[in-house]
Amino acid sequence: MSTKTMRVLVLVCSTRPGALGPVVGRWLTEVLEPRAGELDVELVPVTLGELALPFLDEEEEPASGVYAHEHTRRWSALVDGADGFVVVTPEYNYGMPAPFKNALDYLTCEWAWKPMGFVSYGHTSAGTRSVQHAKQVVTTLRLVPLGATVALRIRDAVEDGQVRPNPALAASAVGLLDELVRVSHALRPLRERARPGLPAGPLPGSYLRPLTPDDAAEVLILQRCCWVEEAVANESLDIPALHESLEQVREWLGTWRTTGLWRDGRLLGMVRSRRNGTDWHVGRLAVVPDLRGRGLGRELLRIGEAGAGAACRRFVLHTGARSEQNIRLYRGEGYRIVPLPEDDGTVSLVKDVNSAPVPVG
């Protein structure tokens, strides 16, 4: 559900001078561009010949992620930033081109849990044996090859050095892109969980990561499912979290320090915080209704507090005046209610930064 544009590399694999690959790659990109726009996909053509990767020359294992050469680092960044791949490949002697195999071998983690579709071309077999060979290799890298493929028989599909207009082939190419997008969305949780350095969350299989404006859609849904109970408890719909638009959520995600708790691609909870003078404001503490009562709110509250720097003197948060469960949680963590100048249906709670939680019976 991410609002981030999906990035798909169109890899043209033949490096032979005068090869047909660039022609097929241009045809494919032109055919796919209208559908890519509808699906919010950015197509990035990459010709391995122009990339000019030498035969694998890194001393360390690719799985280490330690790259000595600038050409490897460029290739790593390009692949790592992609959400999926469409490979345009000929068939050489029942197999894929050596430059394609070499490009695959350079990297490991950057490929993992991303879909790869194939557009092949050739004579008798239309390049399909190259695809079968490649599929055996890419699965070892945890790439997920698509079932949908496009195969061009040169004699039938190419005329005067150009791909002939062919509605059936074009429809197959669009179908391949549709499948790639669906699979890429489905694999997103696996890609994200494989990122190095993500701290584990309090639930088995969960993890924590900063939320960005690209997560606005998930945050919007979490807010609306969590703050309904607040509206009922306080007998008021005048709650910003229930009315914010996607653009408003995206905007505040760009200015607040916000942490999300995730598992299997689902946003289970969040908390946001930021400094205001010597105060550290904590807010939008949310846990999905089906996982409440497991201490997740308490853990997220402490995560929100953890960002306060040495200049901060106290924590500040707000909740509905009738939100008894929230108030009980905050008081249990050492907060105290302070009077507000106006009775607007909310209460303010504060805690000194260096104070310890005070149990409440």
CATH of the domain at 92: 3.40.50.360
22 and 157 belong to one structural domain: yes
- The verdict on residue 358 lying in a domain is no
227 and 279 belong to one structural domain: yes
pLDDT at 360: 44
174 and 228 belong to one structural domain: no
Could you say which of 193, 219, 235 is where a domain stops?
A: 193
3-state secondary structure (DSSP) of residue 191: helix
- The verdict on residue 1 lying in a domain is no
Given pLDDT bands bounded at 50, 70 and 90, which one contains residue 233?
A: confident
pLDDT at 236: 82
128 and 250 belong to one structural domain: no
224 and 318 belong to one structural domain: yes
Q: Which of 289, 133, 290 is nearest to 223 (CA)?
A: 289
Q: What total number of domains does the chain contain? A: 2
pLDDT at 2: 61
- The verdict on residue 198 lying in a domain is no
pLDDT at 361: 41
pLDDT tens-digit series, residues 282-327: 999 999 999 999 999 999 999 999 999 889 999 999 998 888 999 9
Report CA-CA distances (Å) from 50 to 25, 45, 289. 14, 11, 52
Residue 77 has which token pair?
A: 């960044």
Residue 58 has which token pair?
A: 């890194």
Could you say which of 140, 168, 193 is where a domain stops?
A: 193
Q: How many CA atoms lie within 13 A of 213 on its CB side?
A: 9
pLDDT at 3: 66
- The verdict on residue 164 lying in a domain is yes
Whether the predicted pLDDT of 180 surpasses 70? yes
- The verdict on residue 256 lying in a domain is yes
Angle among Cα 36, 37, 39 to the nearest 5 degrees reads 65
Mean pLDDT of the chain: 92
102 and 79 belong to one structural domain: yes
Q: How many CA atoms lie within 13 A of 56 on its CB side?
A: 14
- The verdict on residue 202 lying in a domain is no
16 and 48 belong to one structural domain: yes
Report CA-CA distances (Å) from 232 to 10, 199, 226, 229. 51, 35, 11, 5
Beta bridge partners of 12: 47, 88
Q: Which of 221, 205, 222, 230 is nearest to 287 (CA)?
A: 222
155 and 242 belong to one structural domain: no
215 and 247 belong to one structural domain: yes
Could you say which of 161, 193, 225 is where a domain stops?
A: 193
214 and 242 belong to one structural domain: yes
Distance CA(6)–CA(89), nearest Å, equals: 22
pLDDT at 341: 67
184 and 216 belong to one structural domain: no
- The verdict on residue 48 lying in a domain is yes
CATH of the domain at 225: 3.40.630.30
Domain that holds residue 250: 207-352
Question: pTM to 2 decimals?
Answer: 0.82
- The verdict on residue 357 lying in a domain is no
pLDDT tens-digit series, residues 33-68: 999 999 999 999 999 999 989 999 999 999 999 999
DSSP labels, 69-103:
SHHHHHHHHHHHT-SEEEEEE--BTTB--HHHHHH
162 and 282 belong to one structural domain: no
Q: Which of 144, 70, 76, 130 is nearest to 105 (CA)?
A: 76
pLDDT tens-digit series, residues 64-122: 999 999 999 999 999 999 999 999 999 999 999 999 999 999 999 999 999 999 999 99
Handedness of CA 154, 155, 158, 159 (dihedral sign): positive
